[in-house]
């Protein structure tokens, strides 16, 4: 596989469930990102990891918990979500976060919270 992949592509969960989103990048990049994309809203940056270290947490509620075991993999653990958390969750990667490097996006996970 090439580029940035995300699984699952679609997820429906109840408010009491626990689930995880997975992202993998095959580009040899060192920085990875989670974004939230809601209808009619700009992409919102959630988390940034640089060389496996979290460098940004954009005031995200604790019911979202990221994990970056290595530079190629990024997870977003979800628990006790709210219906307003329903959105498209996009993962991206770039060579580093501190230059003009382009971010490359995965196809996203469409999350629906019932």
Partner 1 sequence: GQNIDQPTEMTATEGAIVQINCTYQTSGFNGLFWYQQHAGEAPTFLSYNVLDGLEEKGRFSSFLSRSKGYSYLLLKELQMKDSASYLCAVRDQTGANNLFFGTGTRLTVIP
Positions in 53-72 near partner 1 (CB under 8 A): 55-56
Check binding of 12 to partner 1 (CB under 8 A). Answer: no
Of 26, 22, 27, give the one whose Cα is nearest residue 8: 22
The enclosing H or E element of 64 equals strand 64-70
Check binding of 76 to partner 1 (CB under 8 A). Answer: no
| Nearest approach, Cβ of residue 96 and partner 1 (Å) | 9
How far are the Cα atoms of 1, 69, 92 from residue 46, in angstroms, in the given order? 26, 18, 11
Check binding of 97 to partner 1 (CB under 8 A). Answer: yes
> In the complex with partner 1, which residue's Cβ is closer, 35 or 64?
35
């Amino acid at each position: 596989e090439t580029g940035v992949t995300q699984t699952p592509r679609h997820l429906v969960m109840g408010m009491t469930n626990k689930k995880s989103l997975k992202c993998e990048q095959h580009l040899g990049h060192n920085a990875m990102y989670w974004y939230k994309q809601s209808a009619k809203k700009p992409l919102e940056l959630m988390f940034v990891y640089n060389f496996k270290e979290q460098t940004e947490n954009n005031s995200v509620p604790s019911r979202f918990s990221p994990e970056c075991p290595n530079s190629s993999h990024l997870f977003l653990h979800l628990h006790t979500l709210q219906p307003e958390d329903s959105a498209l969750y996009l993962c991206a990667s770039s060579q580093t976060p501190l230059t003009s490097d382009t971010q490359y996006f995965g196809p996203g996970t469409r999350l629906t919270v019932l």
